[in-house]
Structure 1
Amino acid sequence: MKIYYRPIVQTDVARPANAKTLAGGWCWFTEVEALMRGQGAQVLPADAVPSDVLARLCAPRSSICDLDMSMPHFMGILNVTPDSFSDGGRFEEAEASLKQARSMVEAGAGMIDVGGESTRPGAKLVPVSDEIARTNPVINAIANKFSVPISIDTRKAEVARAAVAAGASLINDVSGFTYDPELAQVAVEVGLPVCVMHAQGDPATMQQKPTYDDVLLDVYDFLETQVERLANLGIARDKVVIDPGIGFGKSLAHNLALLARLSLFHGLGCPVLIGVSRKKFIGTIGKASLAQDRVPGSVAVALEAVAQGAQIVRVHDVAETRQAVNVWQAMTTGDYNGA
């Protein structure tokens, strides 16, 4: 039976001599939780983990778009759509989108994620030509104005190809490279890093009674399969970012199960991206019906994700999230270098 090893992550300033560094970053662990389908979990010393698994948990992650993965980074969300759940219609015009990009860069965004098709629950498919028309002018304008890496948030090969020509440097596919069979080949051709996300179902139907045998292990297995598939196509593991897809075909209970044991996904040997900003489950727990009122809850989840070693947090509110993470890191290390 397959055993999954989840590092029980620590950030305390008092670090034991036998502690293992997680992914070459800011977290450490001395114990793991061994998980098996249909059986209870066991807590084991880290030295009990098979050597190949332990090596993958500990190995430093390669830079992504020249961003050092030994520290957390903030991916600013820029939706150039009329119907995104939080900011639909606000940044469709080039001037407004460029102003928002500038604001996020000045606030500390290490990357800007540009999307031209809403993937909120119930969203309808956008034609390729419309998606390109929305995203390309914005990507081109940002690329010409700022040195920040740009991610194209798309499921479609032709949109990605056009975005790369306009200046995008990462392909972020919410379908985990299952929607368009040509998209992975585009990534191979252009030689850029990718983000592979898990989603159950299509945005139009994904929140209609999502079900799993074991959401944590099912999502892990999907991402593991996709990382291996991309590697076989020619996209090296060190160019793949993984995202468990919070809110994409998942109930509130599913989301919480994934977040509580987020550190499991470091076993894939890839940087971990978490995108929870302003999502419905935060509003449900925090009693905030409006997306713009979910900033405190979004920051809270981002902090816990970073505490579990997530290298990239995808957020609407860059300044607030960066401030919280910077203060948290200063508190956990007892040090501040003024950066």
Structure 2
Amino acid sequence: MSQVAAHATRTTPSEQEIASAAEKLGRISAAYTSKVVGQERLRVSLLVGLLAGGHVLLESVPGLAKTTAATTLAEAVQASFKRIQCTPDLLPSDITGNQIYDAQTAEFRTVLGPVHANFVLLDEINRSSAKTQSAMLEAMQEHQTTIGGEVHRLPEPFLVIATQNPIEQEGTYELPEAQMDRFLLKEIVEYPSPAEEAEILSRIDSGILASGSSIDAVVSTRELLELQDIASRIYVDPVVRNYIVQLIYVTREPAQYIGEDLARYVKYGASPRASIAFLQAARALALLSGRSYVTPDDVRGLRHLVLRHRVLLNFEAEADGVRSEQIIDAIFGAVPTP
């Protein structure tokens, strides 16, 4: 069967499938909120990445529950989890694995690295060198690693959650554009509200957030793969597809749509990966909303998550205090919503 014919046989999820997915996603969300206070945007971003099979980049100051959120999500779906603390002396083999000589057998044996897990948290990814960062490209894109010429497949599902600290620049290495583009979404994690911070203190006193405490799995990895399959079959109307394509085109030719005053800050527009990201993420967001179809509002709601790390601004924008979100909002304002 050709790829076109195979695609044609994929049917839109039934009402029963949508209802079943909503029930499972509700269980995952409840497990998340049992450990993580607030951070609703982070929950949605992680679930969208999980359903779409894409990786998520988180940017925030330390101490905002990024690690807690990642571990809780992994526990909720009965998945293996590994955390990698990135440092300047971290080697690519420390992530992917290496071949070690066994003196007893006089042979080399392969030891797989921590990237071989369902959930991988790369903590402070911008502290690792460019060479080490590039070691993740194959894993993130191809879901495999190559050690000593031998290919090792990664477990499915596979999700990379990377964090970076925006306030410390000493001893850090800026992520290359090629790797940034591999992340489906980029979320900026904000401080909790006073009420949420008070709740965090209460949970610490009650022992809920004690070190070593865990939650019971609420879905299996097999059920998660079924959720990903349902998400991939969410219907996207040609009108919505054209809307996505037009938006991405405007990021590349901004002057004639948003004016020279703003367009002069844009260094590069988004690649076709942005269109693919919108398609995948919008399907996941629609499923989270209990729908079997994507709406233009799904696309609009994802605009910052999908484009803030793909619409690259120049030094002039940084000097003038212009943020990528301002450019993205101007682009969405210039393209009529269907």
Which bracket does the TM-score occupy, shorter chain normalised?
under 0.3
Q: Whose radius of gyration is greater, 1 or 2?
A: 2
Higher RCO, 1 or 2 (CA under 8 Å, sep at least 6)? 2
TM-score, normalised on structure 2? 0.28
